[in-house]
Amino acid sequence: MGAAGRVGTTANVIRYITATDGAHHAICQGVQRFRVLQFLEDYPFMAARVELLAESGQAGPDIEGRAQGLKERAAEILQLLPQVPEEVVTALQGVEGAPRLADFIAGLMDIGAEEKQALLETFDLRTRLDKLLDLLAHRIEVLKVSREIAERTRGSIDDSQRKHLLREQMRTIQKELGEGDEGAAEIAGLERAIAAAGMPAEVEKQARKELKRLEREIGNVFRNVAVRVAEGGVQRVAVGSADLAAILGPRKFEAEVAMRSGVSGVATGLAWTPVGGDILFIEATRMPGAGKLILTGQLGEVMKESAQAALSLVKAHSGDLGIAPEALEKSDIHVHVPAGATPKDGPSAGVAIFVALASLLTGRLVRSDVAMTGEISLRGLVLPIGGVKEKVLAALRAGIGTVLLPARNRRDLEDIPADAREKLKIVWVEHVDEAIAAALSPAAMEVAPV
């Protein structure tokens, strides 16, 4: 809903889905536009007093002609797109009435939220149809250029090379731009590094899956530049880090961190891999039981021992944390580290597991902008770990603002690039009490026994 126009849409929830990873999705059908008259306070959710807006009753040959042209251009786009479900084509042909047709096509278009909001706030039907006609005409030209590049690339390779289609597309686009093969050389270098690292089979599989995702993202950047050149606006383009969000969309990690950290019992840890650092989520939950600890996520023996030590430490500090003894005695605790297909081991997740358990049993959320790493002892000391540089850079890539590191790793500070040190707040912790103070939100509720 636009902040300026404050126009939105009433909708019916057609279907509600809970994905296997715990994410929630709702499929909605828009019904009618409304304008916000007043936002209401004292509700646990956003509420407002609204005015329903009736669709204008515009009609006539000029409206019908524009609607017919809009339907024809939409059909042309569907022919250019690969693997469009037949149901979409049928639905398009079955839409009746210019207002419904305009809103149906606007909902299907791959355009930004601001452009869609602008269409939603365009009440004049003739103007709305004209805007959509312009957007579709532009999109058709872009798709034609993209198909032209793909066909030119496909003709240059034989059957034995088809698995390298994306790489060949990148080379073709680079040739169009007069660029060299630097990107391909970097990808090849990463592939050699993976082959030489001697990783376990599952870890190597995951690493190669990430280098392919990286290759696709690089290809998306090249295609975006190629389209801009083909449209005649520029002849040469320099792409910097500030341009990536507009080309590739917002950072994916930031949304995932915020989503996972919205409930108690979830902490963001940091891990080292042979090809750099990564973030990992420690998820804890409890259920009626007899005090058992359940561990899942393909954890190694050392990481399992860290989880047991973290639980023992929480029990030892239950009084200080305000945890009722019954919450531990009559509950089973389940700790899970997602991405279960990837083996995980090492002691450096100890502090993150401790914080996740403390969050679960106190009801206090872990701040979504905080990540941490460090081994723990049964006395509550936070012990030094390796891979500090790689872990800190992984936190920065994920949009993390604060990183908790063992105080005894201060000697590694100079290994962290200066720009990363400037963008991140690094908190040095010697004891788990300091990690609790830095990572957990203020006390919110008392956790009753299960």
Catalytic positions: 348, 391
Read off the DSSP letter of residue 367.
Answer: P
Residue pointed to by tokens 């996972």: 260
Sign of CA dihedral 148, 151, 152, 153: positive
SS3 39: strand
Comparing CA positions, the residue from 364, 355, 180, 185 lying closest to residue 283 is: 355
Q: Which tokens go with 44?
A: 């646990």
Residue partners of 301: CB distance under 8 A and separation at least 6 = 345
3-state percent breakdown (helix, strand, coil) of the chain, nearest 5: 50, 20, 30
Q: How far apart are CA 308 and CA 247, in angstroms?
A: 45
Say if CB 363 and CB 445 are below 8 A apart: yes
Read off the DSSP letter of residue 263.
Answer: S
Q: How far apart are CA 374 and CA 353, in angstroms?
A: 10
User: What are the CB-based long-range contacts (under 8 Å, 24+) for 405-411?
Assistant: 405/372, 405/373, 405/374, 405/429, 406/373, 406/374, 406/375, 406/382, 406/430, 407/382, 408/383, 408/384, 409/384, 409/385
Strand 266-273 and strand 276-288: the pairing is antiparallel
Q: How far apart are CA 271 and CA 391, in angstroms?
A: 6
| Residue 280: how many other CB atoms lie within 10 Å | 20
Q: What is the DSSP string of 47-108?
A: EEEEEE-PPP---SHHHHHHHHHHHHHHHHHHHHSTT--HHHHHHHHH--SHHHHHHHHHHH
Read off the DSSP letter of residue 4.
Answer: T
Residues 231-265 as b or e (16 or more Cβ within 10 Å = b): eeeeeeeeeeeeeeeeeeeeeebeebbebbbeebb
SS3 30: strand
